[in-house]
A and B are shown apart, each in its own frame.
Chain A
Amino acid sequence: MNNADIAWMLVSTALVLLMTPALAFFYGGLVRSKNALNTMMMSFIALGPVAVVWALLGYSLAFAPGGPAIGSLAFAGLRGVGLEAQGAIPHLLFMCFQGTFAIITPALISGAVAERMRFNAYLAFITAWVLVVYAPVAHWVWGGGFLASMGALDFAGGAVVHVNAASAALVAALVVGPRKDYGRHAILPHNVPFVMLGAGLLWFGWFGFNAGSALSAGTTASLAFANTLLAPAATLATWTLIDLMRGGRVTAVGAATAIVVGLVVVTPAAGYISPISAITMGALGAFPSYFALIYRAKTKLDDSLDVVAAHGLGGATGAILTGVFAEAAWSGGANGLLGGNPGQVLTQVASVIIVLAYSGGMTFALLKALALVMPLRIGDRHEGLGLDVTDHGEEAYTHGDGAILVKPKESSMAHSTVDVVAVHGGGSL
């Protein structure tokens, strides 16, 4: 171990952790003001319970020595996870770095069920999901599981994080059902500057996500860093060109979305491809997501914040193109189609399909099981009022006009009536 590697990984871990609050801003700006806090909390809350179950159990299931499908309980409760070397860094730091990935992945799913899923049900869902779905899939690719043995390339989580979350998002949107206003009324983003702030912070954090996935401060990290700069830039440029050539205007929400799509596309490839390939991949990656976004809005599928179009298609495109552009000369690893190894493309396609199927199937089973013990979505009336008031008892933008202080004596009684008497909606059109 050397301190340069450790220093970079300490910083990377903090950078990736920042992506979850960044996602909260990205998603929070896209919803109506009456659901702003709820939507942001759906991301934020993953920082608590998901991180705890990851440390206690998830990390062990993903990374303790085990079989091809899942790890073991050897590291449960962080037993044996200390300051000894795990690669170039202390084992404990490796656990933290992986934990930040485990936190953001379930948070990504929230975009598909925003503005109508009950917060309690969501909380139970993501806490279980990270153990049942995320941990095994992370094991398959990074923990010595069968996808790694197959030779699937996933540098920083195109399949593990993005395809995985998007498949769950698709199923969750279908199981929970569309918002009552979806397709009836225009539902507009309430704070586009938040969306841009979120996209900017995501890009910043993503340098830790991708360059940190080198797990050391060396040349591979530098390559991944450069590709994380170039691919989203190419996606943004291409997105802008498509906008202009279709005779449209260049929109802010579109630009923020393009950046995220470009980051997703380059994630599986970051440390495996040349910088020029990153530009090509970023540019190509704009097309499927761009047109999927337009198409999705015309369908009955209320994937409210387009997790499937951005993360699913972006992740799948990135994973498959990694099989095309991977270059041994840059990575010291596998070659792709252009390097004379067409089989890599098939391996990549297989890994995407396997993750898609497992995540989708398990998410369906989890949500159906959860629905037996608690309702998954709020009632129509509460949906009209907005989840900030009904599920959190707070408002994002309150003036405090007409707020009457409840004296301590009454407050215990008042607490018990929050759910039943919510009458007022901080709604906006």
Chain B
Amino acid sequence: MKLIVAIVRPEKLSDVLEALFHADVRGLTISRVQGHGGEIEHVENYRGTSVKMALAEKVRIEIGVSNHFVQPTIDIILGAARTGEVGDGKIMVLPIEKIYRIRTGESDQDAVTPVHSESDQSL
């Protein structure tokens, strides 16, 4: 089991989600974050004040997956989130000690296996 954390461009989120759902990766969490990843800052102007925006808006996706889903999930995100410009983001893969599904108390492998009968209602 791994926790896949991906930081992607907000405008690529739809593409990423669509590709993930298509591949049956359905359990995930997203949050809107700001970060700096080496891209050149753009300049904005407000009433004579010029500012360099050092933080860029990004979306952080967290997905707990079972082992045989790790590589497909990574490949999907690499494909769907890429524009080729600096600022496309990162994917980090972290080990997980335990996972529990709160509703049933199932743990680990069982907890990250998609529940197909309910999958339509999941995010």
B43 close to A421 (CB less than 8 A) = yes
Q: Is the interface of B mostly helix, strand, loop or mixed?
A: mixed
- Interface: B24 (CB within 8 A): no
Given the known interface contacts A393-B43, A425-B9, the answer about A402 and B14 at a Cβ–Cβ threshold of 8 Å is: no
**In the bound complex, do residue B40 and residue A406 qualify as a contact, i.e. CB atoms below 8 Å apart?**
no
* A394 and B57 contact, CB distance less than 8 A: no
- List residues of chain B with CB within 8 A of the CB of A411: 50
Q: In the complex, are the beta carbons of B44 and A395 less than 8 A apart?
A: yes
A381 cross-chain contacts in B, Cβ below 8 A: 83, 85
- The CA-CA distance from A426 to B55 in the complex, in Å, is 11
| B85 and A424 within 8 A (CB) | no
A405 within 8 A of B: yes
Q: Is A403 an interface residue (CB 8 A)?
A: yes
Pairwise interchain contact A393-B45, C-beta atoms closer than 8 A? yes
Cβ contact within 8 Å between A429 and B14 = yes
**Count of residues in A whose CB is under 8 Å from the partner chain:** 35
- A338 and B56 CA atoms in complex are apart in Å by 63
Which residues from A are CB-within-8-Å of B53?
398, 402-404, 424
B43-75 residues with Cβ-Cβ distance < 8 A to A are 43-46, 49-57
Q: Is A385 touching B11 in the complex (CB atoms < 8 A)?
A: yes
Rounded to whole Å, the gap between the CB of A313 and the closest CB of chain B is: 31
Compute how far the CA of A181 lies from the CA of B12 in the bound complex, rounded to whole angstroms: 11
CB pair B57 A426 closer than 8 Å: yes
Contacts known (A384-B9, A401-B34, A403-B53); A423 close to B44, Cβ less than 8 A: no
**B86 at the binding interface (Cβ < 8 Å):** yes
- B36 CB contact (under 8 Å) in A402, A414, A427: A402
CA distance A411 to B52 in the complex (A): 10
Partner of A415, one of B9, B15, B50: B50
**A381-B83, A402-B54, A414-B52 are known contacts. Are A423 and B43 too (CB-CB below 8 A)?**
no
Residues of B within 8 A of A427 (CB): 9-11, 57
> Judging by beta carbons under 8 Å apart, are A423 and B10 in contact?
no
Interface: A3 (CB within 8 A): no
- How many positions in chain B have a CB within 8 Å of any CB in the partner chain? 31
- Among candidates A424, A428, A429, residue contacting B87 with C-beta atoms closer than 8 Å: A424
Whether a CB of chain B sits under 8 angstroms from the CB of A417 is: yes
Q: Does A365 contact B (CB under 8 A)?
A: no
Q: Is B42 close to A, CB under 8 A?
A: yes
Contacts of A395 in B (CB 8 A): 44
Chain A min CB distance to B107 (Å): 32
**Seed contacts A184-B14, A393-B43, A423-B40; 20 additional CB < 8 Å A-B pairs:** A384-B11, A384-B83, A393-B42, A393-B45, A394-B44, A398-B53, A404-B53, A404-B54, A405-B51, A414-B50, A421-B43, A423-B86, A424-B39, A424-B41, A424-B87, A425-B11, A426-B57, A427-B9, A427-B10, A428-B10
In the assembled complex, 25 residue pairs joining A and B whose CB atoms fall closer than 8 Å, in A order, are A34-B11, A185-B18, A381-B83, A381-B85, A384-B11, A386-B11, A393-B42, A393-B44, A394-B44, A394-B45, A401-B55, A402-B53, A404-B52, A405-B51, A406-B50, A406-B51, A418-B42, A418-B43, A421-B40, A424-B53, A424-B55, A424-B57, A426-B10, A428-B10, A429-B10
